[in-house]
Amino acid sequence: MDARSIIAGVRDRRGLGGEAATWFADGLASGEVTDAQAGAFAMAVLLNGLGEDGRVALTQAMRDSGRVLEWKLPGPVVDKHSTGGIGDCTSLLIAPALAACGACVPMISGRGLGHTGGTLDKLEAIPGYRCDVSVEELHRLVAEIGCAIVGASADIAPADRRLYAIRDVTGTVESIDLITASILSKKLAAGLEALILDVKVGSGAFMKTLPEAEALAQSLVSTAKGAGCVTVALITDMDQPLAASAGNALEVIEVMETLTGVEVNQALWDVTVALGGEALALAGLADSAGEGADQIEEALESGRAAETFGRMVAALGGPSDFVERYPDRLPAAPVVMDFVTPRDGFVARIDGEMLGQAVVHLGGGRLRDGDRINPSVGLSQIMAVGEPVEKGEALVRIHAANPAAAEAAMASVKAAIRIEDDEPDEPVLIHKRIG
């Protein structure tokens, strides 16, 4: 067996068997498969697809190309994954809430991609927080605290790390088969018993239409189940930011306001509770998703989730008093400007991707690999679709490193938000459940 015959098999629509998938994934990890061969394989998959069996085979082979974690814990091992959006900080709420309800959550997360924010970038806005830990330390943290949100170590799904970089430069990022294998190989290498997926749809998501989001959700759920992990996906709205903030430290502030009960964004709360409820039901910690949702709400309202989050932050190098002193512990941008509405009316539409790009250009994301992020910049107090506004009222607050950056963001915000006379239909928050 060699790379050429495997690529030819996919090219000629003969599929990808388990043995071939294992050989190719191991070759990606070891370097035996060249960049040219990896690119040819990715293009063949994009053009011809793998089918469900081939998708499962590739996912399992990429998972097994490195270390697969094993656990001996008192509770079920559960995780959540989002396909990416703007102001989507649910992971920071769900992980401690699930842990407070008896689940064990080794949440291996990623950094921002394109216009979407990354969980690790948000956490690194907290001074001292370490995202890079050994597998042994991850085991200890989850056993002691119940959750740990960290990055993937080099020995977790190394085949995916290699293929991911190849996809980015060969125009094959859009392949649902490769997206599925990439997401699930890393998640399943964490040794999960249950996984809840948040598949975003809308202007701020990678999947812009509901049929695209449904196709990805179906692929993820069927492949995860085929690989032995019980999984459900919720398709949730990303036609506007989920939270009222977009930007690393600003989203952490909103998370802390939610955990401590200072202020609650209803959309952020509702998606968090729905995802958490499904996860508890999948893990056998609740009889139904509705009962699980009640448990998540209690964990958030009682402060138990906040206490768990504080312990996690301290254990990973952050301030020991973060929950009590988070406004003082997070960086603040030196320039703050409000974008005000030029007329009366209603917020009729928000281009989520345009707002995400505004945050990136402020310095809150990466224009190229290796860029340094400014954790303090971004947008806050973003008005939601459907809200009435009066002329001169602030629609968005811009946090910038300098006045020129703030003015540039002002132009992007103006283009992203449309005000109309008529009140729009109420947005749908959760479109569909698949699983």
Which positions are catalytic? Answer: 79-82, 119, 167, 182, 186-187
Distance CA 95, CA 9 (A): 41
Residue type, 64: D
Other Cβ atoms less than 10 A from the Cβ of 47: the count is: 12
Residue type, 230: V
Q: What's the CA angle centered on 295, arms 197 and 428, to 5 degrees? A: 50
Q: What residues are paired with 82 via a beta bridge? A: 198
Residue 421 token pair: 């006379």
| Amino acid in position 250 | L
SS3 216: helix
Taking a C-beta distance cutoff of 8 angstroms, is the pair 329, 127 a contact?
Answer: yes
Closest by CA position to 295, among listed 275, 264, 273, 272: 273
Which amino acid is located at 90 in the chain?
Answer: T
Contact 375, 426 (CB under 8 A): no
Strand partners, 230: 194
Q: What angle do CA 67, 72, 77 make, to 5 degrees?
A: 75
Q: Are strands 345-350 and 388-389 parallel, antiparallel or unpaired?
A: antiparallel
